[in-house]
Chains A and B, each alone.
Chain A
Amino acid sequence: MTALWLVLIAMAGLLGWGTSRWYARRALSREIARREAAEAAMLQLKANLGAGASHRLRTPLTAIGGFIELVAEEEAGPINQMQREFLEIAAENTRKLSVVIDDLLGTGNPSPAEPQGEET
């Protein structure tokens, strides 16, 4: 009789241990899935912020560089030698700023004119 009780107690213990282990594994799987989803959302947010920041920084830079070019090319009227030199300095610094933005945003990819690898 005592042996039977001992067997029953052991079986109940094993069942409890198995159940708690199953719950622990399920909780772990859910936690992994939750973290993966959070990581994916963070990457997407980072990509969106990068694209937005890139657009907001490069748009005024394009306008600055474009108007410098129009004046330097005398499309808006003749300029003298000193004005040309000053515009070249302004244009050079615009290009430097573009490189800084590339470095900051990690977008120093090749332009369409340069060779590019195949998209995967």
Chain B
Amino acid sequence: MAKILVAEDEAHIADMITFKLSNAGHRVVRAHDGEEAMTLAGIELPELILLDAMMPGLSGFEVLRRLKADAVLRSVPVIMVTAKGQERDVVNGLREGAADYIVKPFSLKELAARVELVLQRGPTPT
């Protein structure tokens, strides 16, 4: 069981991810925008962050940059969630330290498999 921060502004997407990951035995903490994601990451110190790329205000990519610039949070692995057509941005995200990414529409089985894989790898080397 791991503590996972899900940063997603679309409530239904966050609901289904939460349901799936909770069924898999994980504890899910939810953030509704980028600012809240940064705040909760600092308070909760999750073992993994699922980060939506397109959120109002602070985008997922900006959150990723800030996480990777933070001495404490930079080792928390991040999976970016994005829509097709943004692959170029995601490649940049991977270069900036994202552990993986998943493209909408995605299957929950695939998402769960990627989550387990990233958790098995453990914290991102700094």
Contacts and interface: CB of A to CB of B under 8 A. Distances in A.
Contact of A59 (B10, B85, B86, B101): B10
Nearest to A50: B85
Interface in A34-76: 50-51, 54-55, 58-63, 65-67, 69-70, 73, 75-76
Contacts of A73: 109
Q: Is the interface of A mostly helix, strand, loop or mixed?
A: helix
A119 B101 contact: no
Q: How large is the interface on A (under 10, 10 to 19, 20 to 34, 35 or more residues)?
A: 20 to 34
B13 A66 contact: yes
Nearest to B11: A63
A75 B85 contact: no
Given A70-B16, A70-B20, A75-B23, A65 B83 contact: no
A70 B19 contact: yes
Contact of B91 (A65, A111, A119): A119
Contacts of B87: 109, 116
Interface of B: 10, 12-13, 16-17, 19-20, 23, 54, 83-88, 91, 100-110
The 4 closest A-B pairs by CB, nearest first: A107-B85, A54-B85, A66-B16, A63-B12
